[in-house]
A and B are shown apart, each in its own frame.
Chain A
Amino acid sequence: MNDQFEPVIIGFTCNWCSYRAADLAGTARIKYPPNIRLIRLMCSGRMDPTFVLKALAEGADGVMITGCHPGECHYLDQNYKALRRVLLLRRTIGQMGIEPGRVKLVWASAAEGVRLAQEIGHFVEEIRDMGPLNWPGRLAAAHVNGHGRDDRLMPADMMLEEVPA
C-alpha cells in the first residue's frame, strides 16, 4: 500500500453549491480521499484555464473543477462558461500529450455532499490509473539530459547509415 502512487489533485470549487457540498461532506464526516486540495473560487466561471495549466505545470496529476448545476449558478450562466472552457482546454492539453481526462468538471448542489465525495473518490482512482504526470520532472529531465548531454550522440535510431562513397 505504501508504494502506491498517490495522485496530487487540485480542486477548484465555486463558493456556493459545490463548496457547500464539500463542506457538508466534511461536517457529515463523509470520507473522501485526502489527495484533493480544494481551492475556493467565487464561481466556476472564475476558473481561468491559467489556473489549471499552472497546477499541471507545477506538479498536479489532475484538476477537478466543481460548480453549481446548470441553471443554478449564482452568477446566472457562468458555469456554462466554465463548461466551454473545460471542453476547449481538454482539447488543447490533449495535443500537449496530457490525457484530457486529467481535467474534470463536476456539478454539485449544496445537498450533494455524498455524491461529491464519491466523484472525488472516482477521480482519484482514474488519475491513479493514468499514473503520475510529473510535468516539472519531465521538463527538467529534458533540460538536463538534453542540454547537458556530453555523449554527442544522436538517439540510436537516428544514427547515420553508412553512406556509400
Chain B
Amino acid sequence: MSKNGQAPKEKPKFAMYWAAACGGCEIAVLNIGEKILDVDANFDVVFWPVAMDAKYKDVEAMPDKSILLTLFNGGIRNEENEHMAKLLRQKSQILVAFGSCANEGCIPGLANLSSMQEVFNAAYESVSTENPQHIRPQFSYQVPEGMLTIPLFYPVLRTLDQVVDVDYFMPGCPPESHQIAAVIDLVIAVLHGEAELPPKGAVIGVGDSTVCEECQRARNIKKITKLVRIHEVAEVDPDLCLLEQGILCNGPATRSGCGARCPSVGAACIGCYGPAVGVVDYGARLMTAVASVIDSTEPDEIEAILDGIPDPAGTFYRFNLAHSLLHAARPAMEEVIG
C-alpha cells in the first residue's frame, strides 16, 4: 500500500496479549507476511510479549486509553489473565477479542467439563507426565525470603466479554491470515480517514453466512442412517457433502470466513469460526441440524445412530463451551460449592 509512506508522526499504539491460549493466534498474526511491515509502519508496538520485551508495570504506567488497538487472545483461566484483561481494557481505546479462546473459550474452555481436581490430575499426573514426587504448583509458598505467590487458578474459564467490555469480536482458531490482513488494512484506512470503523460489538474478519455456504461440496436432501467417524469410511467421496456421507460436520452451525478450509480438503468442519449469525447457543444449533437429518422415527434406531457420536458435548461445544448457555459442567462448579 502506497499510503503507508505517510504514516502520522506520532504513531498510534498497538498491543497484543495472550491469556489462556495456545500461541497459535500470535503465529497467525506473524503469518500475514509482509503485511506485518504495514503494522510497524503505522503503529508503535508498545506491548506484545511474544514479539518484544515489555513488563506489565510498563503497561500499568501508560495513561488510560493511550493504546489505540489491542488484540487480546486467550480465555480468562486465572487471576493473571483477569488482571491483564482489565488492565488492557483500561489502557485501550479499541479492545478486540481475537481468536476463538477470547471469543468463546475454545479448547481451553473444554476444561469447563471437569473439576479443578481433574484438570490438575490431567496436567500433573497423567500417563504422559513424569512426576514421581507428585509435585503440584502451590498458589503460595513460604520461603526464607518471604511468601512466593503465583496467580490463582479459577474453577471455570470465562471468555473475554464475560470479564470486560469488548469492542469487536474476531473469531477463528486461529483467525485466517487473509482475514487478519483485511482487518489491519481497514484499521489503517480508518487512521487515514478513508474508512469508518464498524459499529461497536461487530464480529469482524468473517463472512455473514455459514461454512456450508462457502463449501463447494454437492448438497442434496440429507438423510442419515449411520454416523461414522472419518477414519471409519473406506473412501470419502471428494465431491459430496460430508454430512450426507454420515460424517458429522459442523458446517451448518459455523460462521463463514475461512473459505470452508477443512471440508475442501476432506476433513469435517469442527466449528472453529464459532456460531453463525443469529445463533444463541452453538451446540443447540448443531444438535438441531444433526437431529433434523437423521432418517428414523424409531427411538431405538435413533439411539443406535446417535451412538455414532461418541462425545456429544465435546463435538457440539468443542470451541464454544465457555460461551454456551450452560457455560460449564457440574463438576467444574461443584468443587467450590462444597
Contact = CB atoms under 8 A, between A and B. Distances in A.
Interface of A: 48-50, 52-54, 56-57, 70, 77, 80-81, 83-85, 87-89, 91-93, 95-98, 135, 138-139, 141-143, 145-147, 149, 152-155, 157-161, 163-164
Contact of A96 (B120, B280, B313): B313
Contacts of B64: none
A81 to B, nearest CB: 6
B337 A141 contact: yes
A159 B327 CA distance: 27
B229 interface: no
A83 B295 CA distance: 12
Nearest to A95: B313
28 contacts: A50-B281, A53-B325, A57-B327, A80-B297, A84-B292, A84-B302, A85-B287, A87-B306, A88-B287, A88-B290, A88-B312, A92-B316, A95-B329, A96-B113, A96-B313, A139-B327, A141-B333, A141-B336, A142-B156, A145-B337, A152-B139, A152-B149, A154-B136, A155-B116, A155-B335, A158-B120, A158-B136, A161-B133
B302 A142 contact: no
Contacts of A149: 152
Contact of A138 (B139, B284, B337): B337
Contact of B155 (A70, A146, A158): A146
A69 to B, nearest CB: 12
Interface residues of B, number: 55
A92 B283 contact: yes
Contacts of B331: 97
A142 B337 contact: yes
B125 to A, nearest CB: 11
A18 B134 CA distance: 58
Interface of B: 82, 113, 116-117, 120, 133-136, 138-140, 149, 152, 154-156, 158, 280-281, 283-285, 287-288, 290-292, 294, 296-297, 299, 302-303, 306, 309, 311-314, 316, 324-337
Given A54-B325, A97-B329, A141-B336, 7 more contacts: A50-B284, A53-B325, A97-B330, A155-B117, A161-B133, A163-B133, A163-B135
Given A91-B306, A147-B82, A161-B134, A142 B332 contact: yes
User: Which of A88, A91, A153, A164 has the most chain B CB atoms closer than 10 A to its own CB?
Assistant: A88
Given A50-B285, A142-B156, A98 B330 contact: yes
B326 A88 contact: no
A50 B286 CA distance: 10
Contacts of A70: 297
Given A160-B136, A163-B135, A54 B280 contact: yes
A84 B327 contact: no
A39 to B, nearest CB: 16
Contacts of B117: 155, 157-158
Given A139-B328, A142-B156, A87 B284 contact: no
A97 B120 CA distance: 19
A145 B306 contact: no
Contacts of A53: 281, 283-284, 324-326
